[in-house]
Structures are given as structure tokens and as C-alpha cells.
Amino acid sequence: MRPIGTIPRIAAGALLAAACAASAAQAPAPDAERTLRAGGSELHVSVTGVDDPRRRAQLQDWLAEVARAQLTAFGRYPLRSARVRIEPVGRETSRDDESPVPWGQTLRRGDAAVLLFVRDDATPAELRADWTAIHELSHLFHPYLGRDGRWLSEGLASYYQNVLRARAGLLSPQRAWELLDAGFGRGRRESSGAPLVELSRRHEGTMRVYWAGAAFWLQADVALRREHGTSLDGVLSRYSACCLTGTGEVAPADFIAELDRLSGTTVFSSNYPRFAQSRQFPSLDATYRDLAITRSNGELHFGQHGPGAALRRAITARGATRPAAP
């Protein structure tokens, strides 16, 4: 879910009911539905509550570009079939939130569905620059992990929302690292001292939950690439092929154990308890060294030579990850 404090004020239930009633009354319209296909998987994208056919096409084109960014992980959508529903929201309904996509959510009732509320006056450029859609699509890479696993699920979506956009050319690689670093900074400022898993369970400490979670996946990705000849993409591709379903709950420890098994490593389990019980933001000093990222005078600097630079580029470079068979 998108971590914005104003979300509840959108009155999601009322909007959903109105949108469902509206869509039931409408005849099928061009671009109300599109099916995106890749590697035997399908994403069924619907736009409801939008009368203007040009706007429907615009929203479908936007989502198709975001979906292409998702494919830079392993060349197919993580689930064999999932739905995306795009609905408009008026400026007056979410006036406290200037985002072009003020609310997104992944639902897992019956089947997996990503729901995106898009401001009705958001321009294509504003939509293209927003991270909400790729964040929500990234939630399809993992099973539902319950409240204790929120830090893992939100962390994965927060990591991938930047990495995948960089690979797709929606962000420069440098900007992606800067956004990750800014997120880590927000997480670091959460100072309750409570264990991460407790914040996760109690729906508190949002910034530490999201960004300590993202740090967990970044560390795992770096370790897999440096020491084991694979990557987070590769391991999640295998998980998608063997084990992922759109509904049902998986215990976080079981998910971690499965990722260890699929990678033939202990990369995930060796950090999992330490992160879950951490009372402050984990240090990323060693990870930044591995990626040739340094900081001076409050600015990030990116080394251009050597294995650290190569590793960093491999994570975010366009076309770095070829479509892979499961």
C-alpha cells in the first residue's frame, strides 16, 4: 500500500461502491479493458468510471509502460493472471494529497488485484513520474505475509519501485539511488526504539517499516550478486514459478526459508531475525561500500570504476536483466 497519511480520507469504500455501480451500468468501451501478456502470464487492466476514450487510452498506455518496468525483473508477470483496476478520483476528494495517484492498494480476495485511484486531472507526465503503480505491481512478487511480514512486503515494493523504474528508463539510475537513500534517511529518523516486527504488526513507524524493509532486500540483492552469482530477480523468478499464489497467507519465516532454498544460500535467513528484532535502522555502510556509493557534504557520490560501480550498474541499468525462463 502507498504510505500516505491522507489515504483514509479518500473514503475508499464509498468510491469503490460508486465505481462498481457505474461500471456495471456501462456498455463495454474501447480501452476499458486491455490484457497485457508476457511469458505465459497475463495482466488484465480495466479502467472504470472514465467516459473520455482518449483518457482511457492514456491511462491504459501509462499502465502498460509501468507493467513493462515490472517485466525488467524476470520477463514475465509474477502471477499467471492478475488484475489491475484504474479509477478516477477528483481533486476535491483528495485535496490534501497532491499526488497524481493518491491511493493504491493490492487486494487478494478471490484473485490478486491492484487497485489504483488516479487523479482525474493528472497529466501523462505526472503519472509517468509517480511511483505508486510500480509499488503496487511490485507487491505481486510476494505472497501475503500478514501483519508481521509487512516490513518485508512493503520493503520489497519500496526497493523495486525505484530499481525497476530505473531499468525501464522512468528514472535515471542516479535518481533511483538518491530516492532509495532518501527513503533510508526517513526510516532512520523513526526513533521509537521498538522492534521492527512490532512496528510492522501494530501498523506504526511507517517509514522504518517501509525503508528498513527496503534495506533488507537491497542487502540480500547485493549479497546474491556479489557472492552467489544470482540476484533477487532470479530468486523471485524461481519463487514465482514454484510457489507463488495470488491469495492465501504465507508465514514470513516460511517465505524466507523458501527463498534460501531456491537460492541455495542462507542470504535471507542470516539477516531475517536481526532485521525483525532491530530497534533502530540497520547500518548500510558496508552495502554502500560494496556499491561504490559515498557521501560527502550531504551529497551522494557514485564511483565510476571497479567492481562496486559494476555491481551498482547491474542493479539499475537499462536492459541489465534479460527475460528469463522460470
Binding piece for Zn ion, criterion CB under 5 A, among 46-54, 154-162, 189-197, 217-225: 154-162
Choice between 31 and 154, CB closer to Zn ion: 154
Query: From residue 105 to residue 144, what is the string marking binding to Zn ion with x (rule CB under 5 A)?
Result: ----------------------------------------
CB of 209 to Zn ion, least distance (A): 10
Sign of CA dihedral 182, 124, 132, 177: negative
| Least CB distance to Zn ion at residue 101 (A) | 12
Site for Zn ion contains 1 (CB under 5 A): yes
Burial label for 270, CB within 10 Å (0-12, 13-18, 19+), is middle
**Closer of 94 and 138 to Zn ion (Cβ):** 138
**Cell 457505474 found at:** 22
Of the two residues 140 and 315, which places its CB atom closer to Zn ion in the complex?
140
Gap between the Cα atoms of 111 and 140, Å rounded: 11
Indicate whether 209 belongs to the interface with Zn ion (CB under 5 A). Answer: no
The nearest distance, CB 105 to Zn ion, in angstroms, is 8
Binding segment (CB under 5 A) for Zn ion, from list 38-46, 76-84, 152-160, 268-276: 152-160
With CB under 5 A as the contact rule, which of the stretches 10-18, 149-157, 160-168, 292-300 interacts with Zn ion? Answer: 149-157
Contact call for residue 176 and Zn ion (CB under 5 A): no
Q: Any contact of residue 157 with Zn ion (CB under 5 A)?
A: yes
Work out whether 170 is an interface residue with Zn ion (CB under 5 A). Answer: no
For residue 210, the minimal CB distance to Zn ion (Å) is: 8
Count of residues of this chain found to bind Zn ion when the rule CB under 5 A is applied: 3
Cell, residue 119 = 487523479
Three cell numbers written together for 168: 525501464
Cell numbers for 27: 456498455
- Secondary structure (DSSP) of 74-132: TSS-SSSEEEEEEEEE-GGGGTT---SS-EEEEEEESEEEEEEEEETT--HHHHHH--H
Instruction: Write out the E strands in the chain.
Output: 33-38, 41-47, 81-89, 103-109, 111-119, 293-296, 299-302
Instruction: Please say which residue, 88 or 155, places its beta carbon nearer to Zn ion.
Output: 155
Q: Which three cell numbers stand for residue 135?
A: 509499488
Q: Which residue is nearest to Zn ion (CB)?
A: 1
Closest-CA residue to 316 (of 174, 105, 157) = 174
Interface mask toward Zn ion for 73-112; x: CB under 5 A: ----------------------------------------
- Measured CA to CA in angstroms, residue 20 lies from 1, 80, 183, 202 at distances of 21, 25, 35, 31
Nearer to Zn ion, 116 or 157 (CB): 157
Q: What is the rounded CA–CA span in Å between residue 235 and residue 50? A: 39
Q: Binding residues for Zn ion, per CB under 5 A? A: 1, 154, 157
